[in-house]
Structure 1
Amino acid sequence: MSYFEQLGLAAPILKALNAAGYDKPTPIQEQAIPSLMQGRDLCGIAQTGTGKTAAFALPSLHHFATKPKPRQAKSCRMLVLSPTRELAAQIAESFRTYGKFLGLSVLCIFGGAPVFTQKKKLEGGVDILVATPGRLIDLIEQRALTLKDVEIFVLDEADQMMDMGFIHALRQIDKLLPKKRQSLFFSATMPKTIAELGNKFLDNPIRVSVAPQSTTAERVMQYVTFVEQREKQTLLTLRLQEEGIDRALVFTRTKHGADRVVRGLKGAGIEAAAIHGNKSQGQRTNALEQFRAGRIKILVATDIAARGIDVPGVSHVFNFELPNVPEQYVHRIGRTARAGAEGVAMSFVADDERAFLRDIERTTRVKPRILKLPEGFREAVASLPPPAKKSNNEMKREDGRGGPGRAGQNRRKSPANGGRGRNGDTRAQSRPPQGGWQPAAGPRDGAQGENDRRPAADNRGGKPNRSRNYRGKSGGGNRSSQGNRSAAKV
């Protein structure tokens, strides 16, 4: 008898687990599932890739299997909040896999997808709703959804929710949820702010932790190479040519940096794709599908993807630029060494990033091994092929750092009218000007690319730029205020 059978999970769930080849629980599942089946609130801490989704999905599905109820119009019985589109889609797919024989309806909603279609699917109600916060609030405000029937509420990756500035949205959602409910928090890290959030939203929770806070995966071999910023493209090209790469993720701090890396790799004959907040949902989905299928072996991403990509067989993670938040490093390298495999993490560190490296070493309590520059590196820098040309779409997405007249520079919708915003894959990149113009409330596909609205109280940008929506006949506009320029540097 398997562990899952011993738990007494409903027969349809066991059948689905057997079909998917699951027989042994992970530590987080072993510690969390029994308490969750008893209806307890839970605050779970586990490294990424340790099976957190199944830890909350299996007992929740058992609850629905043993306590069936008819669906209520424009409502759901379970709500799972995710910070990113990719992670939301991944969670929803896991629910469909584990609950395939239960006949439950699972809906995933996020920005970048047609809101009318999502409203249509909500009309008859759903059993399980997986959502990003911004689109969820938009649908509630449009009276397409109510949370009054929620029995189970899950907040996944709670610390990233805080990093992305969703605390106000979470408090708003909490007020709309029934007081009598089961609440679950799962996160890879648990800083003090998240613990305080848990104390507010959870009722007498049990705490489950399967790894020390902010530790890195034990099976990841970590290396660091000190190199000048302008030479990183050459170093990455050489490492990708030298290493036995199955699949590799390359992380940059900015969206434009990700595009530059892809162009550089393509110029050297290495096929790669980028995924970040400036990409349309179709482009992001297509890049992930090609990466997952192995048609593209190199995926360049901003931290928007650090927790939303669950692709087996990622052998290498390259930190083209170090993150300025140490915990983000943990999530980045957690994309490799999953499901018992081993992995390699290589970081390229310029002089101005050494402080970031020291913070990471203090947080993770791991000192990466130093790798010297490859032999003949200087000659390779001089002979590096030129990068591929920008595509038309990339030129249209330029953020105004050049002169007037650049294609698409000022034609993007304002956030108040559902536009994407400008620069950003972290909090600082979505801050509107302080003390001047503020966007009106309304649906917004934010700079993070997750559709998720940043409340005005969290916006602490630079000087006002009132000219962003004013253009003369010749176009061009002025988007060079100090507040806007700060975003490109994050």
Structure 2
Amino acid sequence: MTFKELNISEPILKALLKKEYSSPTPIQEQAIPVALNGRDLLGIAQTGTGKTAAFAIPIIQQLDQSQPQGKQRNIQALILTPTRELAIQIDECFSDYSRYTNLRHTVIFGGVNQNPQVEKLKRGTDILIATPGRLLDLIKQKHINLNHIRHFVLDEADRMLDMGFIHDIKRLLPILPKQKQTLFFSATMPQAIASLSKSILKNPARVEVAPVSSVVDTIEQCLYFVEKPDKSQLLIDILGKDKRKSVLVFSRTKHGADKIARVLNKRGIGCEALHGNKTQGARQRALTNFKSGKTRVIIATDIAARGIDIINLELVINYDLPDVAETYVHRIGRTGRAGNTGTALTFCSHEEYEMVRDIQKLTGKKLPVIT
């Protein structure tokens, strides 16, 4: 199937052609027609499946086709997302897809001075991409009016739950107009998220793609049994032998990420740590350097890594195993995207072996051990 067969308008098709996107991903194929018909949507899909385009394209098309000329701009679409990095990434996607329309979009997030964001809002915007805290702050200060919202997207709902934003979402919902289209996306569906989706969606279409265990089929996975004190030397050896362009290393903690980065830099392996304790400027610089290839290795925690979306990421290393088997699949799913090959290496100490068993049970695959 092609994007043209999804009845996408000419300005968006032109934008997709410029980005060399020829055919939709499974979630785009299923979600775009539903969203273009104005129906509510429950999308179960993880990062890397193309879900941003699945909601951005229909919103841009509907707003572009109904946009009166010369009218004062009101916020008509709100995209709520848990992290600054994701908000910036979504904003970049809206730039790509709406480049041949007259629509305006604005991104707001905390951790930086609000004044430039407020100034942009004053000039008028059609689409607002926001993190919950900054959105509620600016609503309270009367810089944002949501009375004209026609489309509401709740992205990464399970991550919102993990980060403690569910209360903020529940504060926001009564402010939104009752008549609107709601598109709800989550990688997993814990009970709290299932209940939230039922409370805000009206007769939704359910779209589910890439079951968590199937994503790993395209990725070469290997396991090293190594005790904690020896992990840093193993990492140095691997990075010394393997001169790949981009390597993402996962640490369970922020402190651990900093420690790994210090060890690697001392050994002449240029890298940066990415986690929630870094300033917004530092996090953005680290991401920009990594995406451009200036920094070859980045050490990230799970939450911070949600902002990393690099098509040609070649190698993921689980320095620490996660607490939940599904998180392993989300982690390694950052490589092997868009038809590219990818490799995932996992370091497992004696005390982490139980998690390896859980991972193998979830994926239905035995991880080959490198000795």
Structure 1 length-normalised TM: 0.73
Counting only pairs closer than 5 Å after superposition, residues 62-461 of structure 1 correspond to structure 2 as: 62-69=61-68, 75-213=74-212, 215-372=214-371
Q: What value does the CA root-mean-square deviation take over the aligned residues?
A: 1.7
Letter matched to residue 44 of structure 1 = G
Please state whether the residue corresponding to 2:126 is helix, strand or coil.
Answer: strand
1:55 maps to what in 2? 54
**Hey, what's the Cα distance between the residues in 2 that align with 1:178 and 1:125?**
19
**Hey, what's the Cα distance between the residues in 2 that align with 1:68 and 1:156?**
25
**Hey, what's the Cα distance between the residues in 2 that align with 1:65 and 1:327?**
38
Letter matched to residue 357 of structure 2 = R
- Asked if structure 2 preserves the Cα contact closer than 8 Å seen for 1:319 and 1:345, the reply is yes
Shift of 1:12: 1.2
- Asked if structure 1 preserves the Cα contact closer than 8 Å seen for 2:272 and 2:299, the reply is yes
**Hey, what's the Cα distance between the residues in 2 that align with 1:95 and 1:248?**
27
Letter matched to residue 320 of structure 1 = Y
Letter matched to residue 159 of structure 1 = D
**Hey, what's the Cα distance between the residues in 2 that align with 1:214 and 1:125?**
44
Shift of 1:244: 4.3
Please state whether the residue corresponding to 2:215 is helix, strand or coil.
Answer: coil
Please state whether the residue corresponding to 2:345 is helix, strand or coil.
Answer: strand
Per-residue deviation, residues 29-56 of structure 1 (Å, max 9, x unmatched): 1111111110011111224312111111
Letter matched to residue 147 of structure 2 = K
**Hey, what's the Cα distance between the residues in 2 that align with 1:167 and 1:133?**
9
**Hey, what's the Cα distance between the residues in 2 that align with 1:214 and 1:106?**
36
Pair 71,146 (structure 1): closer, same or farther in 2 beyond 3 Å = farther
Shift of 1:322: 1.1
**Hey, what's the Cα distance between the residues in 2 that align with 1:364 and 1:306?**
21
**Hey, what's the Cα distance between the residues in 1 that align with 2:304 and 2:71?**
33
Letter matched to residue 145 of structure 1 = I
**Hey, what's the Cα distance between the residues in 2 that align with 1:252 and 1:181?**
40
Of structures 1 and 2, the one with the larger relative CO (CA 8 A, separation 6+) is 2
1:460 maps to what in 2? none
Q: Which piece of structure 1 moves more, 329-338 or 357-366? A: 357-366
Please state whether the residue corresponding to 1:16 is helix, strand or coil.
Answer: helix
Per-residue deviation, residues 391-420 of structure 1 (Å, max 9, x unmatched): xxxxxxxxxxxxxxxxxxxxxxxxxxxxxx
State whether structure 2 residue 36 is matched by structure 1 residue 41: no
- Asked if structure 2 preserves the Cα contact closer than 8 Å seen for 1:306 and 1:331, the reply is no
1:6 maps to what in 2? 5
Pair 52,320 (structure 1): closer, same or farther in 2 beyond 3 Å = same
1:416 maps to what in 2? none
- Asked if structure 1 preserves the Cα contact closer than 8 Å seen for 2:216 and 2:363, the reply is no
- Asked if structure 2 preserves the Cα contact closer than 8 Å seen for 1:72 and 1:124, the reply is no
- Asked if structure 2 preserves the Cα contact closer than 8 Å seen for 1:317 and 1:332, the reply is yes
Per-residue deviation, residues 417-436 of structure 1 (Å, max 9, x unmatched): xxxxxxxxxxxxxxxxxxxx
Larger radius of gyration: 1
| Count of residue pairs the alignment pairs up | 370
Pair 356,19 (structure 1): closer, same or farther in 2 beyond 3 Å = same
Shift of 1:220: 1.1
Larger fraction in helix: 2
Per-residue deviation, residues 225-271 of structure 1 (Å, max 9, x unmatched): 12111111011111112234221000111111111101111121111
- Percentage identity across paired residues of the two chains: 49
Pair 71,148 (structure 1): closer, same or farther in 2 beyond 3 Å = farther
Shift of 1:213: 4.2
Structure 2 length-normalised TM: 0.95
- Asked if structure 1 preserves the Cα contact closer than 8 Å seen for 2:212 and 2:326, the reply is no
1:452 maps to what in 2? none
**Hey, what's the Cα distance between the residues in 1 that align with 2:48 and 2:138?**
31
Please state whether the residue corresponding to 1:149 is helix, strand or coil.
Answer: coil
Shift of 1:145: 0.9
**Hey, what's the Cα distance between the residues in 2 that align with 1:234 and 1:60?**
49
**Hey, what's the Cα distance between the residues in 1 that align with 2:367 and 2:199?**
38
**Hey, what's the Cα distance between the residues in 1 that align with 2:215 and 2:144?**
39
Pair 340,47 (structure 1): closer, same or farther in 2 beyond 3 Å = farther
Shift of 1:161: 1.0
- Asked if structure 1 preserves the Cα contact closer than 8 Å seen for 2:212 and 2:329, the reply is no
Letter matched to residue 120 of structure 1 = E
**Ranges in structure 1 where 5+ consecutive residues have no aligned partner:** 373-490
**Hey, what's the Cα distance between the residues in 1 that align with 2:327 and 2:202?**
29
Shift of 1:166: 1.3
**Hey, what's the Cα distance between the residues in 1 that align with 2:236 and 2:33?**
48
**Hey, what's the Cα distance between the residues in 2 that align with 1:228 and 1:71?**
64
Shift of 1:64: 0.8
Pair 71,161 (structure 1): closer, same or farther in 2 beyond 3 Å = farther
1:24 maps to what in 2? 23
Pair 71,370 (structure 1): closer, same or farther in 2 beyond 3 Å = farther
Letter matched to residue 178 of structure 2 = K
